[in-house]
Chains A and B, each alone.
Chain A
Amino acid sequence: MKYVDEFRDPKLIERAADEIKRLANPSRQYRIMEVCGGHTHSIYRFGLQDLLPENMELIHGPGCPVCVLPMGRVDDGLKLAQDPGVILTAFGDMMRVPGQMGTPLEMKARGADIRMVYSPLDALKLAEKNPERQVIFFAIGFETTAPSTALTLMRAKKMGIENFTVFCNHVTIVPAMRAILDSPDMRLDGFIGPGHVSTVIGCRPYEFVAKEFGKPVVTSGFEPLDLLQSMVMLLRQMNEGRAEVENQYERVVPWEGNRAALAAMAQVFELRPYFEWRGLGFISQSALKLRPEYAQWDTEARFTVEGVRVTDPKAAQCGEVLKGVLKPQQCKLFGKECTPERPVGALMVSSEGACAAYYNYVHRAEAVSGD
């Protein structure tokens, strides 16, 4: 195939959906987790769940960094921004994430100097232009984003820019998958593996899922046909009694990942002993912090970061949704107190959070059709 249209071709999609129905054993249930928020978004956007047999359920995984970031870390960032000598920079998606003190956007409206950047390199440029201010970059994301932060820090060190630091909230996907597999209330039959995270880490890190837990993993692209093909590959493995890591997204994902990006990450970051994930609790060795050689550029080493702990709003059931125990619409606040315009929980903030995706593509459509 040469063009994306073919990955959205209704005839090919119908054929793949028929193949899924043919392969799915009607006498059993299939629970497949798509790990990545980008996949969740595509599944809702293209209505893929409607093409699947009733005994095949898609569980939305923890692959949205905004969604798994504890509220306290947002407040930690906002407290730093109260210092008039500080410019806090963050990605656009972070700007509407509520902490207890409000969202970064609301804090900005109250006078804090909080600026949206597209790249950590833009935050570094801002530091260069404002030598009298301290520029803090609120770093967040999985292994797709961490290399950009690593590269920025390497450049900051090389250029000797000392008024730039990183408030590191990078997390790694593999420990979260292990935590989900270890969780007693989760029964999963297979995983649709992340797409672009895998361009960096490759496919090999998922081998423990197949070897230790006997579950298949298929790394997948984001188009409708990509996702359906990945489900076909998972079902074939299950029917043949295989549990392997396969790569459906070969046109983008190299099996070994990106060694230069991994080397940059290894040079700049080391694993934290543990880190809190919203909804999943503390997971050991699941997040990154700056190595001591980069302490000069580490917000947590240079500033006082309080380590605010915030309990999620009681009525919001983000944790259960995040673990796939509840569907978004089963949360008591969904579509009432919690909407994309006024999110209570982070799953409603990010466009790739399960609640926002469900709200935008299913809930609104049902409201229009009167269902």
Chain B
Amino acid sequence: MPKTDLSLYSSCTLDQDGCTTCGDVAVPVRVVELIGSDALVEDRVGQRATVAIDFFPEAKAGDALLVHMGVAISRLEEPA
């Protein structure tokens, strides 16, 4: 089954995080690879970054997460 387009959750990308201080805009990403308590993630346009996934220790490759300030703050549920 094809993965849901990340832009469904937010149009932000890793280099366009809205107003970072406000933080009410965050970036939907997909986990590429786990690196300890961090993960390599990719946004909807293919940009990659390493982010902390301490709040989601069970995250695995392919999961969709919402990232803000280099930290995953929410798991994005895949719509049925």
Contact = CB atoms under 8 A, between A and B. Distances in A.
Contacts of A264: 54-55
B5 A144 contact: no
B25 interface: yes
A197 interface: yes
B25 A222 contact: yes
A98 interface: no
A141 B55 contact: no
B8 A2 contact: yes
Interface in B52-69: 52, 54-56, 66, 68-69
A41 B19 contact: yes
Main secondary structure of the interface of B (DSSP, over half): loop
Nearest to B38: A121
A260 B22 contact: no
A80 to B, nearest CB: 18
A4 B19 contact: no
B71 A119 contact: yes
Interface string B11-34: 100000111111111100000000
B79 A144 contact: no
Range class of the A interface residue count? 35 or more
A371 to B, nearest CB: 27
Given A251-B8, A258-B73, A194 B21 contact: no
Given A36-B24, A41-B19, A196-B26, A222 B70 contact: no
A4 B76 CA distance: 15
B24 A261 contact: no
A147 interface: yes
B19 A120 contact: no
A251 B10 CA distance: 10
Contact of B21 (A3, A65, A199, A222): A65
Contact of A151 (B18, B21, B55): B55
A253 B26 CA distance: 12
A72 interface: no
Interface string A1-15: 111100100000000
A197 B77 CA distance: 17
B71 A38 contact: no
A62 to B, nearest CB: 11
B18 A351 contact: yes
Given A66-B21, A142-B24, A4 B11 contact: yes
B69 A118 contact: yes
Nearest to A143: B23
A3 B76 contact: no
Contact of B24 (A7, A154, A195, A258): A195
Nearest to A257: B74
Nearest to A149: B69
A199 B23 contact: no
Given A3-B8, A251-B77, A260-B55, A144 B20 contact: no
Contacts of A41: 18-19
Nearest to A121: B70
Contact of A121 (B7, B26, B52, B76): B52
Query: Which 7 pairs, one residue from A and one from B, show the smallest C-beta to C-beta distance?
Result: A119-B70, A144-B23, A93-B21, A38-B24, A4-B7, A199-B74, A260-B55
Given A2-B4, A3-B7, A195-B24, 20 more contacts: A2-B5, A36-B24, A38-B19, A38-B24, A92-B21, A93-B19, A93-B20, A118-B20, A121-B71, A122-B70, A142-B24, A144-B68, A144-B73, A145-B68, A222-B10, A251-B8, A253-B74, A351-B19, A352-B19, A352-B22
Interface of B: 4-5, 7-11, 17-26, 52, 54-56, 66, 68-71, 73-74, 76-77, 79
26 contacts: A4-B7, A37-B19, A37-B22, A38-B18, A38-B19, A38-B22, A63-B22, A64-B22, A66-B22, A92-B21, A118-B17, A121-B52, A142-B22, A147-B71, A147-B73, A148-B52, A148-B69, A148-B73, A151-B52, A151-B71, A194-B24, A196-B26, A196-B68, A251-B77, A251-B79, A352-B22
Interface of A: 1-4, 7, 36-39, 41, 63-66, 91-94, 118-122, 140-142, 144-145, 147-148, 151, 154, 194-197, 199-200, 221-223, 251-254, 258, 260-261, 264, 350-352
